[in-house]
Amino acid sequence: MKKILWLTALAVMILTTGFAQEYTPAPENLEARQQFQDNKFGMFIHWGLSSILGDGEWVMNNRKISVKDYSRLLPAFDPHNFDAAKWVGAAKSAGMKYIVFITRHHDGFSNWDTKYSDWKITNTPYGKDVLRQLADECKKQGIQLGLYYSTLDWYRDDYPYETGRTGKFSGRTKKSDYDHYLQFMKNQLTELLTNYGPVMSIWLDGHWDQTNVEGSKDMSSRLDWRYNELYAHIHNLQPSVLIGNNHHQTPFPGEDFQMFERDLPGQNKSGLSFQTASDVLPLETCETMNGSWGFNITDNNYKSTKDLIHYLVGAAGRNANFLLNIGPMPDGSVQPEFLDTLKEIGKWTAKYGETVYGSRGGVVDPQDWGVVVSKGKNIYVHVFNKPKENYIFLPEVKEKISKATAFDNGKELKFRQQAEGVFVYIDDLPGNDTDAIIQLNIK
């Protein structure tokens, strides 16, 4: 009898809280992780009605705009030039295998026809559900779809803004109510995960709003987000969906990949990446094409094609995917500077992509001259900067190498393998301004 009571209590607890201590990823989730790692390259799309102001997606917070004043943007948002085929096509021709679209950023605006808020794209003069169009187009073009979802909200007053670091000028006075807000997030996530087909990833962002600044000794959260419940809710709806949370910390239980922002795993140029890279979960790093996520009309600080290719390959060498961001304009089109660079990257991926897609990093630590990845019976050595010496040295290669060739012209290169590693002689390696690739065959 006691046992039955105990089991009933446990079942009630699991049903009511969605709380299951241990997270065991479903087989389809583990499979999706492999596919995700094979994909290597994706497009991040930061966009919403904040783009009207041309000052990035943080404009509401940075310019201290209250909810009341910010709401004036709703009747002004009319992205009449939005064309899902063009966005998805730009990603595809760059060699990207997925997109991650902002469904709702910190300003709380929903880019789909949600039942749970009036602060949404279908209440603008444009009136159409952009997520629906993107999801359909992704399916058509064979691109996977990931959804960014902000857990932080500068607009709603049920979000616990009182303890948040940001959103202080919104003019909210009503007491927050996390139970209510959590239910709202669950409702919206139910829509996202039932009405738009298979979703590759749910990309959460905002946890850091409730902690001290990154790098502080105490990084505990002032809010109990009840992630167990939220994550279980997501996984129940689509077990294969990969949950990532941009909390800038070591992954929490229930997460399926770890992300980095503006840093390759192991770096911390951004001041956000104090966390160490997981050696269990897939990794992803995101970066902007200029310096901004959302459309910024004066940001002409564009990264070069070469730098972005190095970022992609550098990420692969560290076993991570690269999520490259665009911030489309308020009319729904993508600025030519981004499109031109994406086209150039596409030329590179068409020729050299096979040395990156499906590969795994971490074979050899990143070196001054470049990085190394492995793929089946091949190792690809990516030389960004030719060293002064006439060889490159790959420390600690365990596999027996049978042949070394220059990827550009198939010419055989001399090599010597010994206990400490492999020396590949590069006298005959043709120069390549971006990345001279050497293919090593494993016996």
Residue numbers at the binding site for ligand FHN (CB under 6 A): 57-58, 205, 246, 261, 286, 293
- Please state at what angle helix 84-94 crosses helix 336-352, rounded to 10 degrees: 40
Neighbouring residues of 362: CB distance < 8 A, sequence distance ≥ 6: 279, 318, 319
Q: How far is the CB of 335 from ligand FHN (least distance, A)?
A: 18
Q: How far is the CB of 397 from ligand FHN (least distance, A)?
A: 35
- Please state at what angle helix 305-317 crosses helix 336-352, rounded to 10 degrees: 50
Our CB check for ligand FHN shows the closer of 207 and 382 to be 207
* Residue 163, CB-side half-sphere exposure with 13 Å CA sphere: 18
Q: Which residues in 368-384 are b (16+ Cβ under 10 Å) and which e? A: ebbbbbbbeebbbbbbb
Our CB check for ligand FHN shows the closer of 148 and 348 to be 148
Our CB check for ligand FHN shows the closer of 39 and 288 to be 288
Our CB check for ligand FHN shows the closer of 205 and 256 to be 205
Amino acid at 220: S
Our CB check for ligand FHN shows the closer of 57 and 153 to be 57
What is the DSSP secondary-structure string of 324-383?
Answer: EEE---TTS---HHHHHHHHHHHHHHHHHGGGTTT-B--SS--BTTEEEEEETTEEEEEE
Q: How far is the CB of 244 from ligand FHN (least distance, A)?
A: 10
Q: How far is the CB of 211 from ligand FHN (least distance, A)?
A: 12
Q: Which residues in 185-196 are b (16+ Cβ under 10 Å) and which e? A: bbebbbbbbeeb
Q: How far is the CB of 112 from ligand FHN (least distance, A)?
A: 17
Run of H or E residues at 27: helix 27-39
Q: How far is the CB of 420 from ligand FHN (least distance, A)?
A: 39
- Closest by Cα among 29, 35, 36, 145 to 98: 145
Q: How far is the CB of 417 from ligand FHN (least distance, A)?
A: 41
Our CB check for ligand FHN shows the closer of 148 and 369 to be 148
**Which residue's Cβ lies closest to ligand FHN?**
261
If you search the block for the tokens 């039955």, which residue do you land on? 4
Our CB check for ligand FHN shows the closer of 286 and 413 to be 286
